[in-house]
Each structure stands twice: as C-alpha cells, then as structure tokens.
Structure 1
Amino acid sequence: MSSKNSRLRVALVALTVAVAGLALAGPAAAATQQNSPTAATAPQDQAPLIPVDFVDLPTSALPADSQRHKFTVTYRNESSADRTVAPQLLVESPDAGPFLDPADVKLERRTAHGCWEAVEVGSQTGTLFTDLPTAQRTLHAGETLTQVYRLTVLDPEAKGTVHPRVALYG
C-alpha cells in the first residue's frame, strides 16, 4: 500500500473517531464548541474548557401555556478551592418527537441589575440548550451561584422537559 493511501486511511479513521466522539458527547459538548470571544482569541496551545461533570437539578414538564415561567439554577461551591462553573438550561424534546425548534420558545436570563435579557438557544438532536462558554464563571469557596431564567413556550403544541443543570470544570 502506498504511503499516500495509508495517510488517507489514518485521516479518515481520525475524522470518524472525532465525529463519533462529538455525537456521543451530546448538547453539553456542542455548547462548549460554539465560537465565543474567549475561544476565538485563546492561544492555539490552550484547549477550551470542557466540563468534567454536571450537577443535574430537578426537571419539570415543559409548560406549553404561553405564560412566562421562571426556572432557577442554583449551585454552592462546597469545596475549599475556587471552581469554574456554568449554569445551563436544557429543553428536551420527547424521545419519539416531534423535536423542538429554537423558535418554539423564548428564553430570557435575569441580569445582575434585575433586567431580563434574551438568551439564544442552540439545538442538537431535539434538545435546546443554553451556551456554556458565555455562562462560565468562577465561584470562590463557599459562594453560591444563582441564575434565574424565564421561559415562554410560543408553540402551544410543544411537549418536552425543562432540565436545569450546572456544568463543573476541572
């Protein structure tokens, strides 16, 4: 076999493994791979932060009544060291579909000043999700993160589950 064919096969195997790994990682990994100002300006030798764990908070049925509903993501850093975390809200479609579309919901986040700001959601395999890189923050030992979201379902036929969680970084 020629070295050109061998290199082509190695490249194809590497690409297949990378695509399979991303598919298995799901929405959380996809959210960390989106372009963000910090990722775009990070040096080439510095990999973007990838969550090492998630703290899942209680889920609830997607309220498809066109009313605004608040969801609070809370996490306390119980360790003695600083910890990088990111609140995330997932809106999961039923397993058998129909899958949710970002246009089915309006999501807002309460700012530190008490105002509401629109939040873009990504979409992957029927799950809508908030971006992790832009939500990252450092919690000092003993500090508590509280992020309040306001969700309005615009499609009265939409069905699904709201799943708040916190990404933890190593």
Structure 2
Amino acid sequence: MALTAALVGIGVAGASPALASTAPVASTSATALVPVDFLDAPTRALPAAGQSHTFTVSYRNDSSVDQVVAPQILVESPDAGPYLAPADIKVERRGADGYREVVSVGSQTGTLFTDLVAAQHTLRPGETLTERYRVTVIAPGAAGTVQPRVALYG
C-alpha cells in the first residue's frame, strides 16, 4: 500500500482524469463503513488570500484483495486561533471530465475537512486512485495548514 501526494503552486497543467474503473462505493447497508487507518501526506501552509495550492493525492492498492479508500483534505486552524470557517476556503476536485467541482467542507474544533463517505472508492488489487484538488483561500488573513490524507477501510 502506498500513498503519494504532490503539493505544487498555482496551476498544474495536463492533469489526466482518475481511473475510469474506480467507482464510488454505494452505501446500501444500514451500517456505514468506518475508517481503520489514515495515511497522511505532508502538510503545507495555506497560501495568502486569493491564492491556491493545487495537489494530487494518489493511493495504490498493493494488496491481493479489494480495498475501500477515501481521499480527504484537512485544513487545520492555528492552535491559538482564530479558527477557520468553511467560507474561508474553497476546495475543488478535478473531475473525470477535466472540470473542477466544488467539494463541500465541514468543520469541527478548528479543523475543516472534506466528506469521507462521498469520496469512497473500491480499488481492486493493483489499481491506483488519483485525485487532483485545489484549495483556494477566500478570507483575508486566513491561516492554517493543508493536509491531504487517505482513509483506509477494513
């Protein structure tokens, strides 16, 4: 199992769509899947207001069985505050069609986060999930760090 994340400045050219064979997991049972582990990528400071960080989160299923995974973006407020609000940033994911779609952001105790349930994918052995995100700071003076990660389900 391997997690890679690349954080770059504004504008990544030539990004290709995610694997077509990677389908979202349908939630058909009354019991929701619960992550058993997280693979954290390196953190990076939020850019200044009006600027963006573009990055790629990639995970390869090196096991011999199907693996449910979900990429997640965490944006953590400074320890001393002020805490970030969801309206302070915009998170976008590049879709399979090449266009960016806004990803909703939740908030809890100073940490902003993207939804794990909506991001779940089942990877067959040997498959790789690659997601491209952009975090843009909307609010002047917003400070914090961005941490991409992948949730693993058992």
Q: Normalising by structure 1, what TM-score? A: 0.72
* Secondary structure class of the residue paired with 2:139: coil
Give the length in aligned residue pairs.
129
Sequence identity percentage: 66
Q: For 1:98 and 1:72, locate their aligned partners in 2 and report how far apart those are by CA, in whole Å.
A: 28
The one-letter code matched in structure 2 to 1:87 is P
Q: For 1:163 and 1:69, locate their aligned partners in 2 and report how far apart those are by CA, in whole Å.
A: 11
CA offset digits 1:65-114 (Å, max 9, x no partner): 41232121111111111100000000000111110000100111100111
The one-letter code matched in structure 2 to 1:105 is I
CA offset digits 1:27-73 (Å, max 9, x no partner): xxxxxxxxxxx65xx45xx4100000000011111112412321211
Q: Normalising by structure 2, what TM-score? A: 0.80
* Secondary structure class of the residue paired with 1:58: coil
Q: For 1:124 and 1:65, locate their aligned partners in 2 and report how far apart those are by CA, in whole Å.
A: 22
Q: Relative contact order (alpha carbons < 8 A, sep ≥ 6): 1 or 2 greater?
A: 2
2:41 to 39, 47, 57: 57
User: What is the RMSD computed on CA atoms of the aligned residues?
Assistant: 1.3
* Secondary structure class of the residue paired with 1:109: strand
Q: Which has the higher strand share?
A: 2
Q: For 1:126 and 1:109, locate their aligned partners in 2 and report how far apart those are by CA, in whole Å.
A: 22
Q: Which has the higher helix share?
A: 1
Moved over 6 A (4+): none
The one-letter code matched in structure 1 to 2:31 is A
Unaligned runs of 5+ in 2: 1-25
